[in-house]
Structure 1
Amino acid sequence: MSLLRRWFDPLRSRWFYQKPMRQVVLSTEHGLSIHLRLDDVYSYLAVQQLPELEEILSDELKPLKVIISSQKAEPPNDMSQVEWQNYCLNDAQILSKQHRFSFHETPEQPPTEAIQQAETILRNTPLRGQDFLYLLEDVFHMLWQKQYGKLRTLYAMASRHHPAQDFPERIFNDDAVLASYFELSDRKYHAVDDLLRLVRRLKQQKQLTGNPIFLINHIDWREHLISDAEELNEIQALDPELDLYIALEDPISWLLLAYIKEELANYYNIHLNVYPLSYHGRDLFDWSLATRLSKRTEVTFTPFCRPTQSATCDMARLFYSVPEEQRVEAMYRILQAVWTKGQDMSFKAHFEQLKRDLEINELTHEDITAKLQENDILCEMKSQPDFPVLELRIDGQSYVFNSLYRVWMIESIFSNVLEDQYKSENDDSNDEERKM
């Protein structure tokens, strides 16, 4: 690693961390817009929030601009279109259950004919403002709830009685859109995952006229869903196990591992397993976003020194040189040295110091590249679009999810497991009563 990067990274990270959060006031000159696709399931979840959001927007941001694209972006992480669609449907089903969105029990992609009919309805309607947003929500319901008869009826009326409309707040284009997102002053916010962050931004800039109530079952950082001692004991007794597949050059891996280890593992008696991955070039990250996440998760993140491909191999060698039962703690300390102390593991002095700190007498002779490639294959089999990848096993079931955006699923799954157990116990009790 170059001397410039080794010394400049910690200075730059300290500057990002120390500057006031949300110092810049985002311009509202171009208003607030949401980008949708009719065949995007996240768009379906997003439109269910739009009438309520538009109602409390300041006049400066009204009307909410709706941009509907007909073009899909390429799936992330080398996933096929089928893999991406299956992932999205499953993920949206989880989000709908957690946040009480309307959703079909067996969702599927709407057929092309239905999408074309829906677009004609939305192009031709003279409705504007909230009336249009309610129609937009209804049309998405028809598409994703398989109400194709209603859709055909509405399409027949729209195509016969109204020509295509031209309103500045309603745009149809072919921009490549992967999943629905909001846009404010050139900043993008995932339509579901970043909704609360967007709302906080709008509230901070006094662009809301009322208190928003979105994602009512959102689990915030450092807040536990399960606090009852008896319920907590029941989860701990199930010995949950969590696998983490992490890219060592990715700062989100440090934030996630540190948060889970510090806040969740001991609390719920989770047995952690860590699987480092080959270098994926994820060190070109958004510094301000990572800094903001560290403040929200209360995980230290400065000063740091971004690992190169060579450094990640050295980090993995240290990891595999400690006994297996000590590896989670070792990875925690390795990532901590990199992301909070500015240590460069490709620099011999830093490497040797951490080797002594970990009490490693002899480095492993294993083929580290082969070990990382084995982990890559295991991770790819999970078919997830982003890192880190997590697999939680509890009560005979396995649950796979990814990224810092889905850490809340750990506690949500625990809650659902308890609920299912209580239902099963009640059913057994009722059966016994009927027999008597």
Structure 2
Amino acid sequence: MSLLRRWFDPIRSRWFYQKPTRQEVLPTEQGLSVYLRLDDVYSYLAVQQLTQLDEILSDEIKPLKVVISDTAAEPPNGMTKAEWHSYCLNDAKILATQHRFSYDEEKPEQPSAEALKQAELILKNTPLTGQNFLYLLEDVFHMLWQQQYGKLRTLFVMASQHQQPQQMPERVFDHTPVLASYFEFGGRKYHAVDDLLRLTRRLKQQKLLTGNPIFLINHIEWREHLMSDAEELAEIQALHPELDLYIALEDPISWLLLAYIKEELANYYNIQMRVFPLSYQGRDFFDWSLATRLSKRAEVAFTPFCRPTEQSTLEMAKLFYSVAEEDRVNAMYEILKAAWTEGKDLSFKAHFQAMQQQLGIEQLQEVNVAGLLEENDALCDQKHQPDFPVLELRINGQSYVFNSLYRVWMIESIFSNVLEQLYKSENDAELNELEISKE
């Protein structure tokens, strides 16, 4: 790592960490926009919140601008379109179950091309505005994603025969590439589902809401446990849940989530963790403000730091694979902590030797570190996830795979669902015994 980067990064990180993490006021001239695609399942979830959101928007940012695109952005992380669609349908099912969205859980599928054309014409031709348009928009999405093609066809015939295309500034049809639905406010983008609470906090801070926003009712906040009952905790702990974490060493989000899970969840739920470091992913040019905000919300230390280079990640992995397997999670915690909170550059000999001594490594293991990282890459690729870090949770004979900071809440949600299923099975067994005894 260059001397400039080694010394400048900690200074810059201190500035980011010490300055206010939220700009006091975002500009309101452009109002609030939501970007949708009719064939995007996240848009389907998003439109189910729009009427409620619009009801409490202040006049200053009304009307809510709806942008409907017919162009999909390229899938992330090298995924094929088929892999991305499959991931989205499954992820939407998880979100719908957690936050009680309407969703076809039996057989979710992408709407047909003909249905998409019909839906677009209906929305282009309708003279409805404001709340009435938002209700129609939600109904049309329901028809698309619940395969209610008969109803859609009826509306299409009426719209094509009795209405003309409407030109309204708050309703735009264009070709903006949209990967997944998002809001735009003050020049910033917010994921339509995952960032909805962050967006409403911002709007409320700027006094742009006329009422209290109540969205995503089962959202789990950082450091707030979903399960606190001693008996329930003991039952989860007795199941010995296992968690595999695939992390990019140059990615600060990987550090923040590893630290959070280790500090807050692992001991609490008796989670047996394993860490799989990946080869250099080029993720050291990240959103500094997002990482800083997350560190404060998750209460995980983050500054000062030096962004690890590709060479640094190899040295970090060399230390990791030189400790006993049972000590590797703790070792990775200390290695990443040194890089992301103490500004240590482990490609710098003095820093490397100090960490080697701290970890009690007398002799470095003679292993093909690059080869081990490539093996981890291959395992991670098999999970078909769009973002890092990738997590695989195993409990009660089931395996669950998810990713990124937006899905950490799933760990506790899964535990809750597992207990619910166990209780249901026990109750069913007791009822069966009672019926047999009556006979």
TM-score category, normalised to shorter length: over 0.9
Aligned partner of residue 68 in structure 1, secondary structure:
strand
Provide the residue aligned with 2:408 in structure 1.
Answer: 407
Aligned partner of residue 232 in structure 1, secondary structure:
helix
**In the alignment, does 2:179 pair up with 1:178?**
yes
Provide the residue aligned with 1:238 in structure 2.
Answer: 239
Provide the residue aligned with 2:351 in structure 1.
Answer: 350
Separation of aligned partners in 2, 1:157 and 1:421: 50
Separation of aligned partners in 2, 1:80 and 1:131: 37
Aligned partner of residue 132 in structure 2, secondary structure:
helix
**In the alignment, does 2:233 pair up with 1:203?**
no
Separation of aligned partners in 1, 2:159 and 2:186: 34
Shift of residue 393, structure 1, vs aligned partner: 0.1
Provide the residue aligned with 2:15 in structure 1.
Answer: 15
Code of the aligned partner of 1:65: K
Provide the residue aligned with 1:2 in structure 2.
Answer: 2
Separation of aligned partners in 1, 2:23 and 2:145: 40
Instruction: Please give the root-mean-square deviation of Cα atoms over the aligned residues, in Å.
Output: 0.5
After superposition, where does 1:131-210 map in structure 2 within 5 Å?
A: 131-210=132-211
Provide the residue aligned with 1:275 in structure 2.
Answer: 276
Shift of residue 23, structure 1, vs aligned partner: 3.1
Provide the residue aligned with 2:327 in structure 1.
Answer: 326
Provide the residue aligned with 1:435 in structure 2.
Answer: 436
Code of the aligned partner of 2:157: A
Separation of aligned partners in 2, 1:81 and 1:418: 35
Aligned 8 A contact 2:276 2:376 in 1? yes
Provide the residue aligned with 1:316 in structure 2.
Answer: 317
Gaps of 5+ in 1: none
Provide the residue aligned with 2:424 in structure 1.
Answer: 423
Residues 138-187 of structure 1 show CA distances to partners (whole Å, capped at 9, x for unaligned) of: 00000001100000001101111110000000000011110000001220
Provide the residue aligned with 2:263 in structure 1.
Answer: 262
**In the alignment, does 2:40 pair up with 1:47?**
no
Residues 119-139 of structure 1 show CA distances to partners (whole Å, capped at 9, x for unaligned) of: 000000000001000000000
Provide the residue aligned with 1:341 in structure 2.
Answer: 342
Code of the aligned partner of 1:276: P
Aligned partner of residue 48 in structure 1, secondary structure:
helix
**In the alignment, does 2:296 pair up with 1:295?**
yes
Code of the aligned partner of 2:154: T
Aligned 8 A contact 2:95 2:101 in 1? yes
Code of the aligned partner of 1:206: K
Aligned partner of residue 127 in structure 1, secondary structure:
coil
Gaps of 5+ in 2: none
Aligned partner of residue 176 in structure 2, secondary structure:
strand
Aligned 8 A contact 2:21 2:289 in 1? no
Separation of aligned partners in 2, 1:293 and 1:382: 25
Separation of aligned partners in 1, 2:290 and 2:261: 19
Provide the residue aligned with 1:70 in structure 2.
Answer: 70
Aligned 8 A contact 2:31 2:62 in 1? yes
Counting matched residue pairs gives 436
Separation of aligned partners in 1, 2:172 and 2:365: 59
Shift of residue 97, structure 1, vs aligned partner: 0.1
Aligned partner of residue 175 in structure 2, secondary structure:
strand
Provide the residue aligned with 1:285 in structure 2.
Answer: 286
Aligned partner of residue 175 in structure 1, secondary structure:
coil
Shift of residue 8, structure 1, vs aligned partner: 0.6
Separation of aligned partners in 2, 1:62 and 1:131: 15
Aligned partner of residue 265 in structure 2, secondary structure:
helix
Separation of aligned partners in 2, 1:79 and 1:20: 36
Provide the residue aligned with 1:60 in structure 2.
Answer: 60
Shift of residue 432, structure 1, vs aligned partner: 0.8
Code of the aligned partner of 1:95: L
Separation of aligned partners in 1, 2:180 and 2:406: 15
Provide the residue aligned with 1:365 in structure 2.
Answer: 366
After superposition, where does 1:81-96 map in structure 2 within 5 Å?
A: 81-96=81-96
Shift of residue 24, structure 1, vs aligned partner: 3.5
Residues 74-126 of structure 1 show CA distances to partners (whole Å, capped at 9, x for unaligned) of: 00000000000000000000000000000012210000000000000000000
Residues 164-222 of structure 1 show CA distances to partners (whole Å, capped at 9, x for unaligned) of: 00000000001111000000122000000000000000000100000010000000000
Shift of residue 21, structure 1, vs aligned partner: 2.5
Aligned partner of residue 49 in structure 1, secondary structure:
helix
Aligned partner of residue 68 in structure 2, secondary structure:
strand
Provide the residue aligned with 2:99 in structure 1.
Answer: 99
Aligned 8 A contact 2:303 2:341 in 1? yes
Code of the aligned partner of 1:71: T
Aligned partner of residue 302 in structure 1, secondary structure:
coil
Aligned 8 A contact 2:21 2:292 in 1? no
Separation of aligned partners in 2, 1:252 and 1:135: 39
Shift of residue 404, structure 1, vs aligned partner: 0.7
Aligned partner of residue 71 in structure 1, secondary structure:
coil
4+ residue stretches of structure 1 with deviation over 3 A? none
Code of the aligned partner of 1:212: P
Separation of aligned partners in 1, 2:195 and 2:12: 26
Separation of aligned partners in 2, 1:133 and 1:262: 43
Separation of aligned partners in 2, 1:133 and 1:201: 22
Aligned partner of residue 390 in structure 1, secondary structure:
strand
Aligned partner of residue 36 in structure 1, secondary structure:
strand
Shift of residue 53, structure 1, vs aligned partner: 0.2
Aligned partner of residue 401 in structure 1, secondary structure:
strand
Identity %: 74
Provide the residue aligned with 2:381 in structure 1.
Answer: 380
Shift of residue 22, structure 1, vs aligned partner: 1.3
Aligned partner of residue 92 in structure 2, secondary structure:
helix
Aligned 8 A contact 2:279 2:373 in 1? yes
